[in-house]
């Protein structure tokens, strides 16, 4: 009789690729407490060993402290990371409830580890060793700072209050995001009259008809309807851009900007509570406000330094944005449109598209057939081969997935052929179960296992682009192409790291305001002739994009650049001041503060119904609190990095390849093992300059 070892539950595997289909809500409820109990016991054991060594006066080694600490943290990250990932891409009421039921225990364990005095003293003792390399020193400094920010220096009631607030903040963030998702899913508008879809391109009408078929099990068609409009961006965004029905644009716009602000699903109380708790947490840690806590681990040195950057951008962008708005009004006036006399926010996208067509003869929607997802992926992968010397091949069927739409790819080094990474791609919008936006996350991080064997990195890349319709593949807008390149940049930094210490591999330990450098860098290649023309081919005929259309894209690159920059400044400044200036005693609500900021950062005053803060997930349900400015901060770095390729000549293939390898060997390879300023200077040969960003965004003036 033979015995077999029982496999652990899928949620507790703790290594390798997750078996997503086997991780059920019931398993989360049943096995997360088991895992946390086991990890708690292991943490107790580690503390006992470390305390004994300290009592003997013995200096600890890296392998005695950091390796077991990493293994312990990685097992929690692996299991809870899968749960959080599924909650974002396969959201169901049962999974949402299971996630919420375990979140407080996960936060409590994080606080327990982050506030361990024994661990803290062991890290400080380890920091005193003279045989550490620069990467180890940087990792230790970050770990010690993180423990300080998690309240390791607090005692008694102060630490109890800190931990209770941490628990509440995690629950509030989850609730905030869920209400935004629910509000987005709850609104729809059924269109039955062909006049209601006047101006909409066929691809959008087909998408709205497909939504109607799925919702009502009807025989809806693009030609006859009915059509179902929703607030998910693949439907909402193009509708605002193309619909000739101003009344319907207004209705959709007001629904979008007022999400999660109604009486039954309001995020307003959550916003005030989050801001209040963050401010109290900061003061417990000895900081004046949460912005100071946030900046403690970033490149920017102070709130004033960030304010100065944002003011420079605001001052440059505001007059440009005013001129752009005047041009749109004049365009509407020439067309005899009623909105010329009363221009409103729901008019901007529509008239910007009209003006874009007039000025550049560029029809954004008409370009979709030249950007089918399979060809765009081939172009993106070809660029990565050209620049970084890597081969990316499809490996569908070789890994478990969480949805039939999900693709799996393997990444090999071009020179040696050796495998170096893998990635998941979940490209399409799934209203109702998948949160909006686009992001990259870690599935597996580069490291060495207990036997010294390499663990190769695996990335999650998630987008929300237009899905295939019938036999037609996903035909992408140019903006969706840029988004894919952006997220792939994050993925490249995660996958191409050569740092074996996981605490500094990939994006780990990279200052938050530098983490957007590779992503925004990759966006620039969407405007490179060789790259774009190599992938832009008609999905049916295979014909390349006409050169005239490429020239129009290039010419239109800075179109509405002032408005785009000003929009980002508005978001960033609102975020920063909410976390540096607002308090319950300041005599104004967060929304009132936001509207004060809008007076100098918007050229169209927000409408009364505008409750944008209630859906500002980046700062209330994500990791960007007092850090949204990072997009513009890193854009200075990314534009300057791309200018290194421009300087050697984008048509100079040998020089481009050499510069690309240098970028791989520095920015993409070194991860968080060195300060991003040092990494950038190693690549560029000098500190960063904002000149390239000003030029790329069209704000340089005449």
Residues identified as active-site: 487
Q: What is the 3-state secondary structure (H, E, C) of 60-129?
A: CCHHHHHHHHHHHHHHHHHHHHHHHHHHHHCCCHHHHHHHHHHHHHHHHHHHHHHCCHHHHHHHHHHHCC
Tokens of 461: 């890349």
- Report the C-alpha dihedral over residues 686, 690, 693, 695, rounded to 10 degrees: -100
* Packing angle of the helix pair 233-242, 202-216 (nearest 10 deg): 140
- 531 touches 484 (CB < 8 A): no
Q: Spell out the residues 6+ positions from residue 645 whose beta carbon is closer than 8 angstroms to its own.
A: 656, 659, 660
The residue to which tokens 């090999």 are assigned: 412
Strands 447-448 and 407-413, sheet pairing: unpaired
Task: Quote helix, strand, coil % in the chain, to nearest 5.
Answer: 60, 10, 30
Tokens of 521: 């860098």
Residue count (the chain): 702
Distance between CA atoms of 367 and 477, rounded to whole angstroms? 7
Q: And the tokens for 91?
A: 């959201």
Helix (H) or strand (E) holding 426: strand 419-428
Question: String of b and e for 338-377 (b: at least 16 CB within 10 Å)?
Answer: ebbeebebbbbbbbbbbbbbeebebebbebbbbbbbebbb
Give me the phi and psi of 278, to 5 degrees please. Answer: -65, -40
**Pairing between strand 439-444 and 458-465?**
antiparallel
Strand intervals (E) in 283-432:
390-394, 407-413, 419-428
CB 144 within 8 A of CB 114: no
Query: Contact 149/297 with Cβ under 8 angstroms?
Result: yes
- CA dist 73 and 42 (Å) reads 11
Residue 286 CA, chain-centre distance (Å), reads 30
Q: Which residues contact 438 (CB under 8 A, 6 or more apart)?
A: 462, 463, 464, 483, 484, 486, 487
Residue 167 contacts by C-beta under 8 Å, 6 or more apart in sequence? 104, 107, 108
The tokens of 674 are what? 């060195």
How far is residue 304's CA from residue 286's CA, in Å, rounded to a whole number?
A: 19
Residues 6 or more apart whose CB falls under 8 angstroms from that of 651 comprise: 529, 530
Q: What is the DSSP letter of 196?
A: G
Q: Which two tokens stand for residue 632?
A: 């513009």
């Amino acid at each position: 009789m033979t015995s077999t070892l029982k496999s652990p539950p899928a949620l507790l595997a703790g290594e390798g690729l997750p078996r997503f289909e086997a991780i059920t809500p019931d398993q989360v409820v049943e096995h997360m407490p088991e895992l946390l109990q086991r990890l708690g016991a292991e943490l107790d054991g580690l503390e006992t060993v470390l305390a004994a060594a300290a009592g003997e006066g013995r200096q600890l080694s890296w392998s005695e402290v950091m390796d077991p600490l990493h293994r312990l943290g990685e097992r929690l990250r692996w299991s809870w990371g899968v749960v959080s990932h599924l909650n974002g891409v396969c959201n169901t009421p049962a999974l949402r409830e299971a996630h919420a039921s375990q979140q407080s225990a996960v936060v409590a364990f994080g606080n327990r580890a982050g506030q361990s005095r024994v661990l803290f003293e062991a890290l400080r003792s380890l920091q005193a060793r003279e045989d550490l390399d620069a990467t180890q020193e940087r990792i230790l400094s970050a770990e010690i700072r993180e423990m300080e920010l998690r309240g390791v220096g607090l005692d008694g009631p102060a630490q109890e209050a800190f931990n209770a607030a941490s628990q509440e903040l995690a629950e509030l963030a989850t609730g905030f995001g869920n209400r935004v998702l629910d509000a987005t899913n709850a609104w729809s508008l059924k269109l039955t009259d062909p006049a209601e879809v006047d101006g909409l391109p066929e691809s959008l009408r087909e998408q709205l008809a497909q939504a109607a078929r799925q919702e009502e099990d009807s025989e809806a068609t693009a030609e006859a309807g009915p059509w179902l409009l929703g607030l998910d961006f693949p439907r909402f965004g193009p509708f605002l851009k193309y619909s000739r029905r101003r009344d319907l644009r207004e209705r959709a716009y007001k629904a979008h900007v007022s999400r999660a602000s109604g009486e039954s699903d309001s995020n307003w109380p959550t916003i005030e509570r989050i801001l209040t708790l963050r401010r109290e947490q900061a003061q417990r840690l000895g900081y004046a406000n949460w912005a100071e806590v946030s900046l403690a681990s970033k490149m920017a040195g102070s709130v004033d330094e960030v304010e100065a950057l944002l003011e420079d951008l605001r001052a440059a962008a505001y007059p440009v944005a005013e001129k752009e708005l005047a041009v749109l009004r004049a365009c509407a006036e020439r067309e005899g449109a009623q909105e010329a006399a009363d221009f409103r926010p729901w008019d901007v996208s529509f008239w910007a598209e009209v003006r874009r067509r007039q000025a550049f003869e560029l029809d954004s929607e008409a370009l979709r057939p030249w950007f089918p997802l399979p060809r765009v992926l081939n172009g993106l992968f070809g660029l990565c081969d050209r620049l970084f010397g890597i081969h990316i091949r499809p490996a569908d069927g070789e890994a478990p997935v969480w949805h039939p739409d999900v693709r799996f790819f393997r990444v090999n080094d071009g020179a040696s052929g050796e495998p170096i990474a893998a990635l998941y791609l979940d490209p399409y919008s799934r209203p109702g179960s998948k949160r909006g936006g686009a992001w990259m996350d870690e599935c597996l991080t580069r490291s060495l296992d207990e036997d010294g064997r390499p663990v190769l990195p695996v990335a999650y890349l998630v987008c929300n682009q237009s899905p295939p319709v019938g036999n037609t593949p996903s035909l992408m807008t140019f903006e969706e192409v840029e988004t894919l390149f952006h997220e792939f940049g994050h993925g490249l930094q995660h996958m191409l790291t050569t740092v074996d210490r996981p605490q500094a591999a990939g994006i780990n330990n990279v200052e938050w305001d530098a983490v957007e450098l590779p992503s925004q860098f990759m966006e620039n290649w969407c405007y490179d002739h060789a790259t774009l023309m190599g992938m832009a081919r008609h999905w049916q005929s295979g014909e390349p994009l006409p050169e005239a259309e490429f020239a129009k894209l290039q010419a239109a690159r800075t179109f509405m650049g002032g408005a785009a920059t000003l929009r980002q400044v508005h978001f960033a400044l609102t975020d920063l001041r909410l976390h540096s200036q607002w308090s319950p005693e300041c005599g104004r609500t967060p929304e009132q503060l936001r509207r004060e900021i809008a007076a100098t950062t918007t050229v169209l005053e927000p409408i009364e119904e505008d409750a944008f803060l209630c859906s500002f997930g980046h700062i209330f349900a994500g990791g960007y609190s007092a850090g949204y400015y990072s997009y513009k901060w890193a854009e200075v770095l990314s534009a300057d990095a791309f200018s290194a390729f421009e300087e050697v000549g984008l048509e100079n293939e040998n020089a481009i390849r050499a510069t690309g390898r240098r970028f791989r060997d520095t920015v993409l390879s070194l991860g968080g093992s060195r300060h991003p300023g040092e990494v950038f200077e190693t690549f560029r040969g000098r500190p960063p300059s904002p000149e390239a960003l000003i030029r790329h965004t069209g704000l340089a003036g005449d």
